[in-house]
Structures are given as C-alpha cells and as structure tokens.
Structure 1
Amino acid sequence: MKRLSHTMLPRFSAARLAVRAAVLATLIGGSIPLHAHAQDNNARFHHAPLSVDDVRNPYATQTGSADAGKRLYAEHCAACHGAAAQGSGNVPSLASARIKQASPGALFWFISKGDIDAGMPAWNSLPEQQRWNLVSFLQSLASSTPASGAPVATASMTPGNWPAPKAPFTDFRHESPGSSRKITVADLPAPYATASAGNAPQLVARPPGAWPKAPPGFKVELFASGLDNPRLLRTAPNGDVFVAETRAGRITLFRGITVNGHATETHVFASGLNKPFGIAFYPAGPHPKWIYIGDTDQVVRFPYQDGDVQATAKPEHIADLPHGDGGHSTRDVSFSPDGTRMYVSVGSASNVDDPDTTPGEKLRADILVFRPDGSDMHVYAYGIRNAVGLAIDPRTGALWCSVNERDGLGDNLVPDYITHVQEGGFYGWPWWYMGAHQDPRHAGKHPELARKAIVPDVLLNPHNASLQLTFYTDRQFPREYSGDIFAAEHGSWNRSTRVGYEVIRVLRHGGDRATGEYQDFLTGFVLPSGQVWGRPVGVTTASDGSLLVSDDGSNTIWRVSYRKS
C-alpha cells in the first residue's frame, strides 16, 4: 500500500474535514460522544434522516425541562464532557454553535440511536422524556459559553448483572495488585461473540477511605491535587516533573518531594497551548536545551535550561500535524537516542474508517518521524489506531508504544497492546488486527496486507485504553522490577463489565523483549458498585525512584514508593 509523503499532507480546513461534536455521556462516568459529520454545507447531522427535522420536542415549553436535563447531564454526562460542558481530553465541548445548528429531532434521534463505531452508545434505555430533557438542556447552553454549576455525580449505582469473565480476560472485580495475566492470539473470540456494549464510566468523587492499592511493601501517597485534566507526565534530567494539563492548555512543573510524599513546589511552565500532551527533552543527557510539546495540531518547542520553572520565550513552531474536529487528539513526542529522529504519534480520526475512502484519515493512525527541526517527515510505522504513549527502551534504544485498539466487535475484541515498533511495520488497523484477523467491517479489503500485519508483543484486555508507558530503571523498587514497563490503563467504555482503570507492570525478566505477560500493579479506582473515581493516564519515575501516576478522574497525581522491610 502506498504511504503518503510529507508533501501530501492535507490542509485540514473545516470545509474538508468531518466535523465531530460530542453530545452525551454515559451512565458511568463518561459521556456519550455525539458526532456531527459535515463534508459540506448540505451535510446531515450524523446522517440523521430528513424526517427527524419535523419532530418537535414535546417538553420544550414545559417549565423545568432544561433544569431536569441539567440534572441528568450531571448524573450521566459531566464526567467526560465536563461539569461545565466544556469537554475533556478527546471529548469536545457541548456549548458550541454546531450543536445549536442541529435540530431537536436530530439530537434526540442520535441520542436514542447511537453509533458504536463512532463511540456513541444508544441511549433508548433512558425514558423518552429524559432524552428530550437532555435535548432541552443542550439547547439551553449559550453558544461557546459553558454551563455552570453542574455537579459531579455522586449517586449510587446498583451493580448490573455482570457475567463472570472468561479467562484469560478479566474485569475490574478481579483486578488485584500482583495478579498475572497473559493473552495470546489463540484466546481471541470471533467478532460479535458478544454484543458491543455502551458502558462509559460513571465518574464520582473519591469516597472517604478509597485509595489506590499497590502490592505488599509499596506505599501510595497523594503527590498533587486540584489539577485540571492532568495527562502525560515526564521527568526532566534535573528531577523536575512536568505534567500536561490538556484541557487547561498548560504545562505544569513540580519540584521536590516532602516527607509526606507531596510536591514541594508547583509552577506553571507554559500556558495558551492547544490540547498539549507529549513532552520531550532535547538533546538527551543531563543538560537539555529544549522542551518539545505535542499539541494536537503541531509540535512546538521552548528554550530550556536546568532549573527553569517558566518558559523564557514564546513557543517555536516545529511541525504541523494531522488534526481535525474529531478523533484522537493526543500527540506524544520522543527522540531516538542519537538525537537524529523525532517520533510523533498521531491517532486515528475514527474507530474504523477506511483511509482509502476517508480523507480525514490520511497520515493518521501512524507514528510519524521527523528530524528535530521538523523537516523530512515520513511515516515510521502505520496501521496503529492510537499510539497514545511513546517510550524509548534505555537499554536497547528501541521505540515502544502503548495503543488503544478499535471498538465495536464485542467485549473481548480487539486487545489493546504494548509493543516495540518496527520501522516500516504495519499493525493492522483498520482492515486487520492481531496478525491475519480481518475486521468484518472491511471484509475482502487489502488481502495483500494480511501477511504483513504484525502481532504486538503484549496483548492487553480489550478496551483497557492503554495510555502512557515508561521503563523502570531506578533502584528504589526491588531488583526484579529493573527494565520492566509500567503503563496506565485509563479504563473501558465499550465493555459490558468494566476493565482497566489501573496501572500495569509488563514483565521482561531482565531481557530486551516482552514475553506477553503482565501484572496488575495499582488498582482500586473502581468501586464495587461499578462507579469510577479515578482514571490513570500518565506514568513517570521521580528523582528518588518512586513512581508517579496522573489521574484525570480525580485530577490528582499519585506517588508509589517502596519501603524495604
């Protein structure tokens, strides 16, 4: 298959890209994304039939309809779309002109119908009046003006009729620090062996006494709190810890660790960025001169000297990146050990759209590679739906990534994964997965790629949402942890019983490759009711060898340290 060169990078104008505006959230902490696709001025709101435009909201003039919808929004939607409807991570704001342009009937139609492939479960299980009240609330929002005062849900949730997981797959009820897992290609079920679920997280405030759980000998402390959507973490050579507060558009710096495990100092290093995520120091070594930031639409860099707590200049543009109003927004950045290559991950614009027929997918679902000045862009590896986290193995110099695979094929398909990345390698998306397994939604397409599709090193539970990963090379943890990988699992939405919401340890047993085995390491972010209070995103090693974990559910950073007995 021909790959695009950097000279073919498309212009991402509103007239050419599919416009995605998210609309609702699920019962479980998340929201339900509602997407509006607009290829031109005459496009239909997510292909809603013309007939729905004549359907009127029967409760539009009823006193209290919008207020009732606001309460429903707080219960079902706020965790992902934000308490003020401002959006979060990859989830857009609902207070937008594009939502205003949709008819009440089109909003109601899509809330009811859903589209699993687009990440939107059907919500016809909610009473009709409640769905209309949600429409009333959405339409009450002023364009580009977020709602205020929507509380975070704290209501209890009765556990569902959750079936027991079929080994080797698991769910949150069986996640426990130290439990080992290994999934192989032979374990994969057929597509649609189970229904495709819409079960996003109902995010609640952390109850008193709820705390992350680590293996014996490890201690978990609260390193920082009160953050705004803390995502990727990176530690500078001097020990300062940087976090991307993606929704806030800023990079925050933490310095030092108190005797109680808290950060000693907090500083805003840079602000005014566009969904920042990736952070990388360049060149390698103890005294980098630049900090590179992966915004959703570009890579920028700031001058940097050891000890800087605030950027000393405006960001310098390095390279444009594929982007759009929908799809995956995270862009991680990493450098080859010799400093000659800059790797940038760019997730797909969809769940499983065919790049052959969807212009918005060009140069997405790829890991791109540039020179450090942004020149000579080309595709390093492709068919990788969403490589959220990138990391260089400090022992071998190999590039590794942590990947969110596709949804919509059932509870136990398709596994997320962690793998070393082969230059020029094809990892399957969207036509194939886990080697020569064809996605039935693309049956018969690209048979020549079946033998090229690479099976990743470590298959994870499907829908885990594996995000940042890091190699542990310090000495605070026991010797057997040296060289192993830690990865944050943000948690499922497309699974009937929750899975993920943890940090895992990928064992390498002192070798350079992974055996496919991994263990639960940090758990406890899901309550027995199925409600979620925390969602791990970033992982990094602090200067003292402890592990730091960002959590955009409770807007905190956790510290995990080991005490020798």
Structure 2
Amino acid sequence: MHRITPSALRVLTLASIVSVLPVSLFAQSGKVITGQAAFTDYTQEHPGVIRKITLADLPEPKEGESVDNGPSVVPRPEGAWPIAPAGFKVEIYAQGFKEPRLMRTAPNGDIFLADSHGDKIIVLRGVGPDGKAQTISTFADGLNLPFGIAFYPSGPDPKWIYVGNTDSVVRFPYKSGDLVATGKPEKIVPELPGFAQLRGGGHWTRDIVFTPDAKMLVSVGSASNADDPDTHPNEFHRADVLEFNPEGKFLKVYASGLRNCVGEAINPTTGQLWCSTNERDRLGDNLVPDYITSVKEDGFYGWPWYYMGGHQDPRLMGTHPELKSKVITPDVILQPHFASLELAFYTGKQFPSSYDGDGFAAEHGSWNRAHRSGYEVIRVPMHDGHATGEYEDFLTGFVTSDGKVWGRPVGVTVAKDGSLFVTDDGSKTVWHVSYTGK
C-alpha cells in the first residue's frame, strides 16, 4: 500500500483518501454487488470491491443518452499513486516511453513491451535496489503500431518472436536472452485489415497468441461502431479472431462478432482462447457492456447485429433474424465502456493462493459515459479454469476525485517471480505490483 505523505494529503481529496481505507467501509467483506447497483463509476471503484452483472441487469437502449465525455489526461498530481489491496506494494518500474501498451513475459523472465506509437518493441530486464528496471533495450524499431507479442514455439526455448503490427504480422529470430533482434523482421502475414480511426483511439491493435496445438490466433477489431458488414466491405475479416498457421497461412475465421478483442490470452487450465473485448458505443450510459470471455471455436458473439443475450442493435433492427439464437453470452460482463484491454492469467506463486489461475485485465477507461468508469486493473476470479461471472477491483486510483484522469492502464503481465507489471499510457509508466503481506 502506498504511504500517504503530508504533501500527498494536500492534494488527495476525500474520494482519493477513502479509496485507501479498508474495503469493509464500503461493502461487507465478500459481498458481491449485483443488479443496478453494479453499474457504478470511478468514485466507487476500490480494491476488493466485487461486482456481478447479468443479462437481466441490462437496460433498454437509450441512444439519446449517449455522451462524449473523453478524458483529458493530466500529469500525475503530487501524491497520486495506484492503489492496490492490503499487502501489495506498487512501485514505478520504468518510464519515458512514447506509448507503453501490451507486455508479454519471455520464458527467461525478460519483459517485452510494445511502445506502440513509438513503433518499437522494448525489453525490460531485472529489478534494481531502487525498484527500477536494471536494463532497458530497444529490441526492434521501425515497426507499424506494434501491439501483440508472442513467443513460438511454447516452452523454455522459443525460436521466434511474433509481433502484431496494425496491418501485418512479422516475426524475428530469437534465442533466450536476446536484448536486440539479430535479424530483420520477416513478414509472416503480409496484410491484415489496417488502422481504423474511431473515437477513443481506433481499432488498430492486433494481438497474437498460439494455441496448444500451434495455431496462431490474431484479433482484429471492427472499423466502425456498428456498420453492417453486408453493406460496408471495409468490415471484411474485422470484428473477428483470425486463424493462421505459424508460417502465416490463413486457415479460417476462428470466431466472429467480437467487436474488438483487444487482449487475447490462453487459459492455462483449459487451453482455451479468452478475449478482453470492447463492445459498441452510443446506446446509452449502461449499454453495451464490455466483457471478458472464453472464445468458442466458430462461435458468434453478436456484433454488429446483436449483443449479448440476443438483443438486437436498434440501429440494425430486422436484419439477420437467423443469427439471434446463435449469439453467445460472454462469461464475465463488465461495466459498459470500460475499454477492456490486455488480459493475463495468474500463473505465479508470489500472490496468495486464492489468486491461482485468476485473470487480470487492464481497463483503459470510458469516454462514452456521463460518469467515468474504468481506469483500473481488475481481477477475474476463476474456478478450475472457468469464470464465476464476477470481477473485482484490484488496482485503482488513476482518477482524481474531481474526475481528472492521470493514468490509463493498458497492459498486464505476470513476471517470472510472480509479481505483476502494468503499463499505463496516461503517465507513460510501467508499474510493478508485488505482494509483501504487510
């Protein structure tokens, strides 16, 4: 827990101060907030608070309620700091990037970071006595909005690093410990549907994971909010997860109707693909919720004609009635407009055993909501590899009590020692979250 200094108290307002107090002051221990009470904003996000949203809680669409309330990121105020549950310590690990986004941990423990608008992949190694990275090295530059990073083949000795540019997939030869690429990028997938500039940043991110049977899954977000692909050919092979072999040969659309599966992860217990997904905007404050879900092969998740539970988008009323019964309801329904980004499963041993196998996801924060929500890292409780449907606030404090945003979580990865690293492209920081038990 970050210690509040006298100088910090001068800038921490009531909402900031109460967020470092025991969660029992806000909710009974272990209580799950459900129903309409689960639709909250940043002032009610505190480590340990648990929510569960179900289909029965979804309101009717209210297009007239839609607002443009995007944040203007401010410098981190004096004393402002990410707030974790009791027993956890949060430190600055590295700074000075242009746009730190997705991270992946190499088998040897190095942290590979996509500095996306810097067009670089950076390697972070070690933790010095001051808590900072001991080595920071540019592995590769001259890329095109890199985001996804994957090591192949799986195991302790990968031979390649795959990188998802916004319009292609490239790979670099790799041997454990490389701090700089030893060869030029090889374009494995020469063409993906490219940059789409939308409010909130655009669906330009391309994540990559490999399944246990060595299929390469690449996520591509939609080009629009809710354009009908029947009449908008620029949506071809978008809002999909695409399946390739490791040499880049296209095999099929693995799953469809996921408006923007930003963060992919393979569940270590089940071996199944999971996605952290941004849903559509402009249907009201509380529609449509973002979600985290297991992804069924050949599954359909609704976009753009329907959303979870077979609800038809009113802007496309009457289209494709044959698809209504095919819409898969996601495993974990989040706050609407959370902007859920990278997802990682906890495979470490440093945190208490109750965290084993749970998910962590970075919530970049809302723009299409009257009252801000997100701007946090959440925990997704799992039981034998399956979600309970709940989510828990884990790392908060990135918004001041008067609504000024200074931090926006994007990436999350589990370090070899079991600690957690989190990127924040608001303050351009990589944060280090470790468990001390104190």
SS of corresponding position for 1:167: helix
Query: Does the CA contact (< 8 Å) of 2:196 and 2:224 recur in 1?
Result: no
Partner of residue 203, structure 2: 328
1:514 to 363, 373, 387: 387
Query: 2:409 matched to which residue of 1?
Result: 536
Contact 1:405 1:414 in 2 (8 A): yes
CA deviations on 1:424-458 (whole Å, 9 max, x unpaired) are 00000001001210000000000000000000000
Task: Please state how far the C-alpha of 1:378 moved relative to its aligned partner.
Answer: 1.3
Report the residue type matching 1:516 in the other structure: G
Match of 1:563 in 2: 436
Q: Kindly indicate whether the alpha-carbon contact (under 8 Å) linking 2:196 and 2:203 is maintained by their aligned counterparts in 1.
A: no
* Deviation at residue 377 of structure 1 after TM alignment: 3.0
Q: Which of 206, 209, 230 is the equivalent residue of 1:356?
A: 230
Quote the residue 2:32 is aligned against: none
Question: In the alignment, is residue 198 of structure 1 matched against residue 68 of structure 2?
Answer: yes
* Structure-2 residue corresponding to 1:481: 355
Counterpart-to-counterpart distance in 2, 1:469 and 1:325: 22
Q: Tell me how far apart the structure 2 counterparts of residues 385 and 374 of structure 1 sit (CA, whole Å).
A: 23
CA contact (8 A) 1:221 1:260 kept: no
Consecutive unaligned residues of structure 1, counting only runs of 5 or more, are: 1-158, 160-164
Q: Deviations for 1:492-520, whole angstroms, at most 9, x for unmatched residues?
A: 00000000000000001x32210110100
Kindly tell me: are residues 296 and 193 of structure 1, through their superposed partners in 2, closer, same or farther at Cα, counting changes over 3 Å? Answer: closer
> In the superposition, relative to structure 1, how do residues 403 and 175 fare at CA in structure 2: closer, same or farther (>3 Å)?
same
Q: CA deviation at 1:194?
A: 6.4
Give the Cα separation in 2 of the matches to 1:492 and 1:564: 32
> How many Å apart are 1:209 and its aligned residue?
0.2
Aligned with residue 390 of structure 1, among 264, 273, 278: 264
Higher strand share: 2
CA shift for structure 1 position 422: 0.3
Query: Which whole-Å CA distance do the structure 2 matches of 1:362 and 1:404 have between them?
Result: 18
Say whether residues 1:307 and 2:182 are aligned partners.
no
Distance in 1 (alpha carbons) for counterparts of 2:144 and 2:237: 20
Structure 2 residue 122 is the aligned partner of structure 1 residue 252: yes
Deviation at 1:225, TM superposition (A): 0.8
Give the match's secondary structure for 1:251: strand
Consecutive aligned runs of 4 or more in structure 1 exceeding 2 Å deviation: 324-327
Q: Give me the whole-angstrom Cα distance separating, in 2, the residues matched to 1:401 and 1:193.
A: 27
State TM-score, norm by structure 2: 0.90
Report matched runs for 1:58-69 at 5 Å: none
What's the CA shift for 1:260? 3.1
Q: Tell me by how many angstroms 1:395 deviates.
A: 1.5
Q: Which amino acid aligns with 1:328?
A: H
- Cα gap change, 1:300 to 1:562, in 2 (>3 Å): same
Report what 2:49 is aligned to. Answer: 179
How far the C-alpha of 1:376 sits from its partner, in A, is 3.3
Q: CA deviation at 1:236?
A: 0.1
Distance apart, 1:294 and its partner CA: 0.2
| 1:232–1:539 CA contact under 8 A, matched in 2 | yes
How far does residue 262 in structure 1 lie from its aligned partner after superposition? 1.4
Could you tell me how far apart the structure 2 residues matched to 1:221 and 1:376 are?
42
Q: How does 1:336-347 map to 2 (within 5 A)?
A: 336-339=211-214, 341-347=215-221
- 1:414-563 equivalences under 5 Å are 414-508=288-382, 510-563=383-436
Deviations 1:254-285 (A, max 9, x none): 01112332111000000000000000000000
Aligned to 1:294: 164
Q: CA deviation at 1:329?
A: 0.2
Q: Deviation digits for residues 283-309 of structure 1, max 9, x if unmatched?
A: 000000000000000000000001100
TM-score of the aligned structures, taking structure 1 as reference length: 0.70
Identity within the alignment, %: 63
Residue number among 251, 257, 260 corresponding to 1:377 in the alignment: 251
Q: Does 1:215 align with 2:76?
A: no
Aligned CA RMSD, in angstroms, stands at 1.3
Counterpart Cα distance in 2 of 1:547 and 1:483:
14
Distance in 1, matches of 2:194 and 2:98, equals: 23
AA aligned to 1:215 is: P
Is the CA contact (8 Å cut-off) linking 1:435 and 1:452 kept in structure 2? no
Q: Distance in 1 between matches of 2:211 and 2:196?
A: 30
Which residue does the alignment assign to 1:67?
none
Letter in 2 for 1:556: T
- Aligned residue identity for 1:546: S
